[in-house]
């Protein structure tokens, strides 16, 4: 009786949205709608992020770096899918908005993960977080084209130079 109940509950969990990597890859390959395809690629990247976190937590750094590359590739594919769709992000934000949110959350998750691992193992995580933050800036600029591009937090704007007319004590 318990085994039958466990089998039913396990099948229900799978049906409730816990897609496997193979299912997502199949959906991505067959999906004609670019917004739905990008959302599937975002879900694949989220699955890969979970694998990255698990690999780093278990000390399998090589496996984590491999999953990290697959995660960033999935997000780049989502961005390219949306760019190639011909949709104006400012007028039709579906997909672009979800990508921007996913990028923001993933950058934060990678930064948090980088703080938990050895200094020697942080470089791939920091590089991926920086690349995803740059991609997020591009997505935001596509959504809000009239605004100047967002600067990255890691590179603050230079301080204004003192004017020659200002008093010496203000310099």
Angle at 42 (CA atoms; ends 100, 73), nearest 5 degrees: 95
Rg (CA), the chain: 21
Q: pLDDT digit of tens for each residue in the chain (171 aa)? A: 433 433 443 444 444 457 899 999 999 999 999 999 999 999 999 999 999 999 999 999 999 999 999 999 999 999 999 999 999 999 999 999 999 999 999 999 999 999 999 999 999 999 999 999 999 999 999 999 887 766 655 544 445 555 555 555 554
Cβ pair 22, 43 in contact under 8 A:
no
Token readout for 11 is 């099948």
Could you tell me the residue ranges of all domains in the chain? 19-145
* This prediction's pTM: 0.76
Cβ pair 103, 121 in contact under 8 A:
no
């Amino acid at each position: 009786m318990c085994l039958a109940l466990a089998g039913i509950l396990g099948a229900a969990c799978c049906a409730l949205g816990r897609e496997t990597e193979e299912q997502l890859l199949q959906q991505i390959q067959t999906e004609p709608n670019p917004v739905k395809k990008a959302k599937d690629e975002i879900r694949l990247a989220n699955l890969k992020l979970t694998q990255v976190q698990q690999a780093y937590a278990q000390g399998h750094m090589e496996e984590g770096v491999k999953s990290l590359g697959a995660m960033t590739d999935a997000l780049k594919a989502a961005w390219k899918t949306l760019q190639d769709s011909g949709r104006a992000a400012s007028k039709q934000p579906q997909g672009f908005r979800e990508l921007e949110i996913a990028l923001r959350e993933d950058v934060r998750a990678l930064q948090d993960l980088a703080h938990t691992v050895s200094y020697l193992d942080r470089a791939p995580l920091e590089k991926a977080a920086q690349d995803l933050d740059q991609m997020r800036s591009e997505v935001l600029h596509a959504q809000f084209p009239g605004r100047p591009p967002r600067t990255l937090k890691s590179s603050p704007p230079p301080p204004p130079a003192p004017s020659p007319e200002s008093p010496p004590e203000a310099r």
